[in-house]
Structures are given as structure tokens and as C-alpha cells.
Chain A
């Protein structure tokens, strides 16, 4: 079941461009949690007709109110409005939406994130109790986020930056190759980030025969599967929908050439 709830902002902090918020979400997690990597659809003021989909970084059932952590960057008018909200204010939130990453608590995963695609992987790290490995890519050291959280909740956390200002100088797919050459005993590679990164990661992972799941992004309308605007092209010629069928898809079923 999906719900719409008025959620109180009970924590707000900012690291560089990334805004962290913890929301008191009522019964949202109890009623609609499926996996880490789902998203919430947040109304951003009265003048914007479309809600903004924001991935859930972490969530848990709590009493009396469940807690949902979101991490986002200001990209446009909607996220700018959201970033301006103060501690104690309330947000109109629909959730939890989408399928999320199919993570088994006893599993071990290679988590690959790029930029603002990093946050939803934190939930995957927490769910696997420190067994997973993270490979996180950012444009530069200044853009890096959540490093301490991943170091704490993963067996190992590797960093790549496009400009070499921190960690490996280059893209995450090179680190993915390195890691899988040494160790391919992962249940799956779980990736979230910009489309070109996902395509390259999917290509690298395929060489090692390890399953790969990717979280896709598309301009979204209703967020629940009714309006059909957030289409994602599949290899079999069909078009699925990021909000309802996704956002997580098997990398093998996505048409990367579309």
C-alpha cells in the first residue's frame, strides 16, 4: 500500500550541495517498505504542479512515527524549494514508491554509486550489516558525500573522482573491474547514478558474469504508474515505467542504446 503523509522534518543538515533530511513519516515504512532504494514523491510548494521524486537513503519503522532519511542536491526550482525548508516544517510526501534493490540481508553486494546516486545505496549497505563493498564516484573531493556512513556500514569503501582530487583518478567502472578481478563472490552489483555511468558499469559487470541491477532516472509525473510518462526503453522493445516497474531494473533488460 502507498500512502500520502504530512511529514515533519526532524533533522536537517547540509554537506556541500547535498541536503540531508530525516522525516517523521507516520506509518509510511510499515505500510509500504519493500526494499532499500525506493523513493518518495514530495510536493514542492503550491506553484509547482509536479512532485519531485527523491530517493530514500535509509528508513526504518519507529514508534510512534517511522523515520525516512533523504539526501538530495538542488537541481531546479523544486529541489531549491525543498532545500529551503526548515527544521520542524512539514512536507507532503507520497511513499514509499517503486521497487528498490532486491537485497537479501544475508547477501553480499558490490554497491556502485555516482554523485547524487550514492544515497540509496546506503540503505543496501545497512541491510547487509557491513558485508557489502562500496565503490563511490564523485566529480571531485568537494562533491563527495556520505563517505563516513559507507565506511562504517561496508566491509570496504573505495572512492573515485573525475579530477583525481580524492581516491582513484577516473570513473567507477574501472574500480568495478579491478574489484571483480580480485573477488567476484558478490550476489550482485547494485548501481545508481547518471545513465552513462550505469551503462559503463553494466558493461564491465557483464564481463564477469555477476548479476547487475541499476536504478534508473526519468522525468516523472504521478509517481505511482498511472500517467505513464517516465518511460524506460527495454531491450525487448517494450517501454517500462521507472516509478512503478522500477526504479531498479536488471541491467540486462535495459536498452542502453536507446
Chain B
């Protein structure tokens, strides 16, 4: 048996490390040395070490991207949208590429709230990251049951999805009618105990501030926006829509200006803290949403092209804050100077 040579082992380990570095694409530093700016933000009483959250439905339950980097680098994780019972979602194709965007029609495929609590939450809890559960119900009662289960399981926040464009029952209907949005919000709040409730708004409305005010009036602790914008793409040769469901939800850089506008409108209409999202893929994109009024930002579609996008957004935000001489990134929130 060859003798164990610690020097050789050490040299080999270093060689492996050097090789890995040699081939690694330029990636963000995992632990930026002593950031000159305070990156922490507060979202409805929930303190995150930085303002970057990953958006629900783009990040699963964290396991896949956890193979690429330490999930503790993130401010928060919005888990894949849950329903009371397991759902298989819509038939494929569920995705279509569009100019600087994608359409999706997944249809809330998920293992159900109980399976999340039993199998996924313990995994996420290994990391120093805020866990936000996202829920959709067919009835206000279902929202209540899910909130009770999740509050009992100890998630950090519950994001109430009243705006999924890809399901027939509930979903978008709750997000487009103020009285229904209020009813669902009240039901969630009354079953969530001390866990803050954030209502996710749909952009597929004439006036998003009406829904925002309804959610605020019903006791929501925070708002998140925007969900995807309904869209469609057609193959001109087959004359078939690319998506099997015909229509789907648009996300990606194409929707960023819509998101910035809507965050700005909502920030001017309500006092609630906002998690801004829609097409963020750089620190500058995130800063736009924060200046428009967002306390924190979510990164979603950008992860598909670049798994490291959330970390790059975080680092870009930090650099921008330093360049602008800010002592805390939270100073960006609401800082837009409209004409």
C-alpha cells in the first residue's frame, strides 16, 4: 500500500483547486471582502442580509441551484408556488422564447403544501436565508388552510399568489377584482399568525393600485409585483401557438419597464413595503426597482441563462451603492426624482 504523503495530498488538492479555477467562468466572489455598504434590508419586519430574493417558480425549492453556490448568499428564497394538493401542471410545451423574454405555462406543478413542509423546508432550513412560501388556492378557505400549515411549520413569510395566469380556478381572478383580493388577503392574514403575509399582484389589470389598496385595506404586510404578463406566440408555419395552453405568462428583460412603472405607481398608492420583480438581471435593473419604491428585489428568469445571476445582481447593487456614496443599499428605496 502506498504511504500517505500529506505533502503530495496537499499538492494534489491545490492542483484540483487551480484547475477548477482555471476553467470556471468569471463568477462573483462568494464573500465580498468587508462590504463598504450595509446591504441588509427589512421587508415587513423580516430582515434579510441583502435585498436579493429569487422569484417563485424559477428556483424550485433551491436544491438545483444549491449545487452551483451556497444558498446562504441570497437574501431570500421564494419557493415554487404551492397548492393544497399536489398538481401536475399543464401539458408541454410550457415555454416559448420571445424577444428578450420568455412565455411560460407551467400551471403550478408542485408536490402540495404538506410535502413541501415535510421534505423541502428542512432542506432550505440548512441555509442562512429567509424562506418565503408562495401559495395559490382554489378558494379563500384553501388559502387559510395553507397559511395555517405554513405558519405552524415556521416559514419566514407567506407570499399569497392571487395572480397566476396559468390556472383556471382562482388564480388570476383573485388578482383582478379588488373585493376578491381583499377576501383572500383577510383569510390568509387570519390564519398566518405572526408570519407576515405578502400579496403578489398581477400586472394584467387596468389599475394595479386598486388591487394594492384592497390588499392593504385587508391587512397585507407587504406586496410583491409584478407577476408575469399574459402573452402568446404563434408558429407561423404550423399556425399553432408554441404553448400547448395557447397563452402564458411573459417574463424576462422585456417586462422590466412595466415592473418599474407598476412598482412606482403602487409605492405612491400604499404604505406597504414592496418586493419588486420583473426582468431583473443586473444591479442597475434592481436599483431601478428600488428607486421606484421597492424595499427588496427578486430575480427570476435571469437564472435560466445564468445560474449566478442573483449573486451578480447583489454584487452589482453593492457596487452601485458604493459608487453613489450610500452607506446602506436601503437608501435607494423610493429615491426616484420624478419630473
Contacts and interface: CB of A to CB of B under 8 A. Distances in A.
A228 interface: yes
Given A2-B68, A50-B305, A94-B307, A227 B24 contact: no
Given A224-B64, A227-B106, A238 B24 contact: no
A222 B88 CA distance: 18
Contact of B58 (A43, A47, A226, A232): A226
B100 A232 contact: no
Give the dominant DSSP class at B's interface. loop
A26 B305 contact: no
A237 B86 CA distance: 12
Give the dominant DSSP class at A's interface. loop
B25 interface: yes
A49 B67 contact: no
Contacts of B104: 221, 227, 229
Given A6-B25, A51-B304, A228 B19 contact: no
B65 A48 contact: no
Interface in A210-230: 218-230
Contacts of B92: 218-219, 229-233, 239
A219 B95 contact: yes
B58 A227 contact: yes
Given A50-B102, A239-B89, A227 B304 contact: yes
Contact of A4 (B80, B94, B101, B307): B307
A231 B91 contact: yes
B174 interface: no
B149 to A, nearest CB: 22
Contacts of B102: 49-50, 221
Given A49-B252, A232-B92, A226 B60 contact: yes
Interface in B76-108: 80, 88-97, 100-102, 104, 106
A91 B302 CA distance: 18
Interface in A195-254: 218-233, 237-239, 244
Nearest to A63: B19
B22 A219 contact: no
A231 B89 contact: yes
Given A221-B95, A228-B60, A229-B92, A92 B304 contact: no
Contacts of A5: 23-25
Contacts, number: 128
Contacts of A244: 64
B303 interface: yes
Most chain A beta carbons < 10 A, residue from B92, B93, B97: B92
A43 B305 contact: yes
B59 to A, nearest CB: 5
A7 B16 CA distance: 17
B95 A49 contact: no
Contact of B106 (A64, A223, A228): A228
Interface string B152-183: 00000000000000000000000000000000
B91 A226 contact: no
Nearest to A223: B304
Interface bin, chain A: 35 or more
Most chain A beta carbons < 10 A, residue from B68, B89, B95: B95
A138 B180 CA distance: 56
B88 A237 contact: yes
Given A4-B68, A219-B93, A222-B64, A228 B109 contact: yes
B95 A50 contact: yes
A4 B60 contact: no
A221 B106 CA distance: 11
Contacts of A219: 92-96, 242
Contacts of B228: none
Contacts of B59: 226
Nearest to A218: B92
Interface string A161-173: 0000000000000
Contacts of A237: 88
Nearest to B21: A26
Q: Which 8 A-B pairs have the closest CB atoms?
A: A26-B23, A226-B60, A229-B95, A229-B94, A224-B64, A226-B64, A231-B92, A219-B93
18 contacts: A2-B67, A4-B25, A4-B307, A5-B23, A5-B25, A27-B23, A51-B305, A64-B22, A219-B94, A220-B95, A221-B102, A222-B307, A227-B106, A229-B104, A230-B94, A233-B92, A239-B88, A239-B92
Given A6-B25, A220-B95, A230-B95, 13 more contacts: A1-B67, A4-B25, A5-B23, A49-B252, A49-B305, A218-B93, A219-B94, A227-B58, A227-B104, A228-B57, A228-B60, A231-B90, A239-B92
